[in-house]
Amino acid sequence: MSTSLEQLVELLNSEQNSNYGSLDELKKILESEEDLLSKCLVFTFDFFSQNRADELKSRFVGKKSPLQDLLKSLKNIPAEERKGAGQLVNQTKQAMENAVTKFLKTYEEHLEQTKIASENEDITLPTCFAKLGSRHPISVVMRDLLVPFQRMGFAVVDGPEIDTEFFNFDALNVVKEHPAREMQDTFFLASEWVLRTHTSNVQSHAMKERGIPLKIVCPGCVYRNEFDMTHVPSFRQIECLVVDKGIHMGHLRHVINELLSAAFGRPVKIRLRSSFFPFTEPSAEVDVECQQCFGKGCRSCKHTGWSEIGGCGVVNRKVLENCGVDPAIYSGIAFGFGVDRIAKDRFAVADLRSLFDGNVEYLSSFSLT
């Protein structure tokens, strides 16, 4: 077995004289061609590459190989010698072609084997059909809600889920005797700590920490002591707060429109209904046309044709003052929406609690990606 790559290249490049004067000479040429080929074929596969294998083929049995030249030159020799010479060349050609084909086939098998040996995965093992999960309806709404906010340049901020009464109530102008502070609604923890009842607690944190102007959105979990078809004790809200010079209700209405179309994945009819929140003045409840009866009135919307999804308003000047912001210079807008409530409406879920039963079959029926 030969050892050097240079030798192989040299053999492949060697030219053969295809001129001959007699049958004997022709035989010699053919023999030396066969000899050359056999020298090449004993090289180890390591010296071959796809290119070199192609070279081998074209050098010995290709259209421009010396053998082809010999065949072409047969017409120049005397008729009586032509037949014998032709047979000789054809026999040799056939033998060499067989040898090259056999060699290339084994070479390909060798390549395949090397490839398989280098793979550490057993591709012949039966496939494991892993079941791909689907996104939870609430995650989908949360994701869609954040898109317009990011487009409008809002910062997404986080707020504490365990907070002091001060941030959850006092800073927001919620007086001590307000019903929201009662045990039925709020989960009180040790001393003055509570589980936040709304994402509005982030308002004062953000104003104090980030300063003014401010344009933030805060998605997160909130907690209230309630449990029925439309309420669960731990649910998600999304809070929006903008404080700057000249901010007014018009801005509020625009952001709400943008947001709710994204949240429902289609344009929806919205209504602002005058209301009261201690931390906004004026205040309004935000209603969306019932997505099950489209305003006609059904059980889901308690025959009102509308579904309430949150509150909003112009930030109360007392809240600004509590956070050291001068209400003579700055004004703000804020809203807080129930994300679970939006998901319930968008996906026509009759009982909100069914979204939290952990019933995978039910949840995958929404086929959300």
Cβ proximity to ligand PHE: between 204 and 283 the closer is: 283
The amino acid that residue 70 corresponds to is: L
Cβ proximity to ligand PHE: between 34 and 258 the closer is: 258
Cβ proximity to ligand PHE: between 219 and 313 the closer is: 313
The amino acid that residue 90 corresponds to is: N
Q: Which helix (H) or strand (E) holds 285?
A: strand 280-289
Cβ proximity to ligand PHE: between 137 and 332 the closer is: 332
- Give the Cα separation of 283 and 315 in Å (integer): 9
Say if CB 274 and CB 283 are below 8 A apart.
Answer: yes
Instruction: Give 174's contacts (C-beta < 8 A, 6+ positions apart).
Output: 168, 180, 181, 278, 279
Cβ proximity to ligand PHE: between 148 and 313 the closer is: 313
Neighbours of 259 (CB within 10 A): 25
Closest approach of ligand PHE to the CB of residue 239, in Å: 6
Closest approach of ligand PHE to the CB of residue 235, in Å: 10
Q: What angle (nearest 5°) sits at the alpha carbon of residue 10, between those of residues 4 and 16?
A: 145
* Phi, psi values for residue 263, rounded to 5°: -65, -35
And the tokens for 61?
């049995």
Closest approach of ligand PHE to the CB of residue 142, in Å: 16
* Phi, psi values for residue 351, rounded to 5°: -120, 115
Cβ proximity to ligand PHE: between 65 and 283 the closer is: 283
Q: What angle (nearest 5°) sits at the alpha carbon of residue 241, between those of residues 235 and 244?
A: 175
Cβ proximity to ligand PHE: between 110 and 318 the closer is: 318
Cβ proximity to ligand PHE: between 107 and 223 the closer is: 223
Half-sphere exposure of 207 (CA within 13 A, CB side): 27
Closest approach of ligand PHE to the CB of residue 222, in Å: 7
**Residue 286, Cβ density class (10 Å: 0-12 exposed, 13-18 middle, ≥19 buried):** buried
Neighbours of 248 (CB within 10 A): 11
Closest approach of ligand PHE to the CB of residue 313, in Å: 5
- Binding positions for ligand PHE, rule: CB under 6 A: 198, 200, 277, 280, 283, 310-313, 334-336
Structure letter (DSSP) for residue 316 = P
Closest approach of ligand PHE to the CB of residue 362, in Å: 28
Closest approach of ligand PHE to the CB of residue 335, in Å: 5
Closest approach of ligand PHE to the CB of residue 283, in Å: 6
The amino acid that residue 201 corresponds to is: N
